[in-house]
Chains A and B, each alone.
Chain A
């Protein structure tokens, strides 16, 4: 529950029901949520330090007696599976003042397309902006790839944690460089996502990959709302499709298939997260992003 003491300064807050039912709107374009004042107000420096020191072990740490080892099996159990899902989503979607840095409290994220990410980087993100090694790729593949863009106090945190600091890549970046880097990742097919970490402080703009991303996997494989779909969805302009299939390889959600009979691609919009990666591959304007609200049958985020 949002309490009076925990409301936003301007009263324009993301309500609990919006979050749950996925009509959150573009919450990530609210510049106040990036501000250092929020960090001071909720005393998040020590919290973030502790959390990032231990980030990779959150899935194996038991919360309420349950950890994420074999999560798929746990969710398949009758009744217990529903309880586990409910408890896990409650932790992730928590809007209470964050208390325990060893669990992913209030770690709410949403897929965003390139244009929204550029808007964030140009107008909302608080400097200094850094590029740090992605923790998801490191914990699932042991690979360090500097494609995670962090803002504000995160540079103080990452400064003390050498495993996140890129070896040869840029570390501190200007807004312009951040936009260039994100654009490069996005055109490569990485999924843009923006995160509260923890609610109500936004400090992470990620370029994710499936199945490595710890936020996307529970949603794709287990139906858990660990990340919200974008405010957009792909629309196809079938007449323009020349059947080059380049978009198929760009989609990390297996939402695009090539139809042999029609010699065109088909998008399964149930699976589409609206990240827009496929639009970068299409040279014939056969794919474009449309606001999700305009497509009522797929309006669930």
Chain B
């Protein structure tokens, strides 16, 4: 099987009430051709964390559709996206 793409969005910078609210930025969401990112209310990084419908973050959801164009990495003003 081909190597799986992994995309990490640094939630300590973007989302979850930290430095940047992704709802004001959305650059990664809009630059991605296959639209693999999801803008969502926080569920908490771990299941046991409480979710908060008022705080939003971004997660790379449809990873298998990533074309590895790396445009999201360049587009993120906070450099919060890492593709591996």
Contacts and interface: CB of A to CB of B under 8 A. Distances in A.
Contact of A139 (B30, B38, B47, B65): B38
A85 to B, nearest CB: 14
Interface in B43-84: 43, 47, 51, 53, 56, 59-65
Nearest to B25: A142
A217 B1 CA distance: 22
Interface in A33-77: 53-54, 56-57, 59-62, 68-73, 76
A68 to B, nearest CB: 6
A57 B65 contact: no
B34 A143 contact: no
A70 B4 contact: yes
Nearest to A78: B1
Given A56-B38, A139-B39, A139-B40, A73 B51 contact: no
A139 B35 CA distance: 10
Contacts of A56: 38-41, 56
B68 to A, nearest CB: 14
Contacts of A221: 62, 65
Given A68-B61, A73-B63, A62 B47 contact: yes
Contacts of A61: 43, 51
Interface residues of B, number: 28
29 contacts: A54-B51, A56-B38, A56-B56, A57-B42, A57-B51, A59-B40, A60-B38, A60-B43, A62-B47, A69-B60, A70-B4, A70-B64, A71-B61, A72-B63, A72-B65, A73-B64, A76-B1, A139-B38, A140-B38, A141-B29, A141-B30, A142-B22, A142-B23, A142-B25, A142-B26, A143-B26, A211-B35, A211-B65, A221-B62
Interface of B: 1, 4, 22-23, 25-26, 29-30, 34-35, 37-43, 47, 51, 53, 56, 59-65
A171 interface: no
A4 B64 CA distance: 42
Interface of A: 53-54, 56-57, 59-62, 68-73, 76, 138-143, 211-212, 217, 221
Contacts of A54: 41, 51, 53
Nearest to A70: B63
A71 B64 contact: yes
A57 B23 contact: no
Nearest to A140: B35
Nearest to B33: A211
A71 B62 CA distance: 6
A141 B1 contact: no
Q: Which 7 residue pairs across A and B have the least CB separation, nearest first?
A: A72-B64, A142-B26, A57-B40, A70-B63, A56-B40, A57-B41, A142-B29
Contacts of B59: 60, 69
B16 to A, nearest CB: 12
